Amino acid sequence: MFDTDPDNFECGGSAQTHASQSAKAFFAAILLIFVLCGLAIHLLAPHIGMAPEVAHRVAGIMLVVCSVYALMLFFWDRVFGRLT
């Protein structure tokens, strides 16, 4: 009824590639949003009533999150390529 031989298993490569590209695009969009938000907080802190120290910390945290997302996008195929 079902073929459980791993040599005959097809995962639908094009659908899987499309899903991977969509996930990468999603994370790249989040990366861009975080960069823009961090920059806006850094530049507009005095205008929105935020103390410079707080704005510096928040922008720094956003930069760290962006760095993690950028590393994840860079190593995406190495990490998730082995799982398929």
Q: What is the pLDDT of residues 51-80, one digit of tens each?
A: 989 999 998 998 898 888 888 888 877 777
Band (9; pLDDT cuts 50, 70, 90): very low
Stretch 39-48: mean pLDDT = 90
46 has a pLDDT exceeding 70: yes
Alpha-carbon distance 45 to 52, whole Å?
7
Q: Model's pTM, two decimal places?
A: 0.64
Stretch 41-52: mean pLDDT = 90
- Of 61, 77, 62, nearest to 32 by C-alpha is 62
- Domain locations along the chain: 25-77
Q: What is the pLDDT, as a whole number, of residue 22?
A: 86
Amino acid code (one letter) for 19? A
